[in-house]
Amino acid sequence: MTSDLTPDTASDTASDTASDDMVPDTTSAAGPAQPAQPGGEHMVSADDVHKSFGAVHVLKGISLRVRRGEVMCLIGPSGSGKSTFLRCINHLEKVDAGSLRVDGELVGYRRHAGRLHELRESEIARKRAEIGMVFQHFNLFPHMSALQNIIEAPIRVKREPRAEVTERAHRLLERVGLADKAGAYPKQLSGGQQQRVAIARALAMRPKLMLFDEPTSALDPELVGEVLDVMRDLAAEGMTMVVVTHEMGFAREVGDSLVFMDAGVVVETGRPRDVLANPQHERTASFLSKVL
């Protein structure tokens, strides 16, 4: 059952060159043309974001910008706060201080008459529905088939007609190379296949932003490629992505920008090639020397 990898794993090197041309300059304001967006050119804007768990200060003033269509890779040692920052973006964690905006709107709050009002559960849920998230451990619903996993949220959350959603789900499964696995339960799929279903599940909500939390860290080495291929295709289509990863190869090929975090602060930002080849900070250099 685990042997039928997708045919597209073979196209690993072919897509390298294709995506290479698409990498825009980090400093330019370009990106897929989406005029008159409420958030301006930035999909995510973080300014001095702080977060503590009890006495542990996990994020100590994170400031970042993610442009529309940009693929930003977050790297750093474990405990550096990169996953926590990612989880703040869709309000799985509450920000303690600072301002975090997605598509121009504050995460978790509404500004009214000079005050910040905490959002109600329904409002938070509505905003989360616009942001896709892929987890390290897939978190597929084990009691549902691959297809049911994908159609659940569009039907229950967005109240879309079942027939329409089902058709879209089949197209998504085909896109991630699992057209024949619609009826399979997560237990019957390999890790790589499960993660691809998880990506399809997130895409079924037609998100404007995709968050990836170490999507390949729980996978056997030979299954990493098939998941990265799907993500590479997604990036090529212009999806805005924030990816916490340890895959430096992926960051170099697909990432538009690379952020190195350590101990709750952003140490270094830049084009992946530059940062990986020529880190400006000693901490970055020391980290990269261990992982590369």
> Using CB under 8 A as the criterion, which residues of the chain lie in contact with other proteins when the complex forms?
90, 92, 121-122, 125-133, 135, 137, 139-143, 152-153, 156-158, 185, 187, 201-202, 205
- Nearer to other proteins by Cβ, of 89 and 258: the residue is 89
Least Å distance between CB 10 and other proteins?
A: 26
Nearest CB to other proteins, comparing residues 133 and 259: 133
Please report how close the Cβ of residue 127 comes to other proteins at its closest, in angstroms.
Answer: 8
Cβ of residue 88: shortest distance to other proteins, in angstroms? 13
Tell the smallest beta-carbon distance from residue 243 to other proteins (Å). 15
Instruction: Report d(CA 200, CA 202) in Å as an integer.
Output: 5
Asked whether 208 and 129 are in contact (CB, 8 A), the reply is: no
- Which of 95/258 has CB closer to other proteins? 95
Question: What is the smallest separation between the CB atom of 2 and other proteins, expressed in angstroms?
Answer: 13
The CB-of-57 to other proteins minimum distance in angstroms stands at 23
Sign, Cα dihedral of 200, 202, 204, 209: negative
CA distance 195 to 176: 10
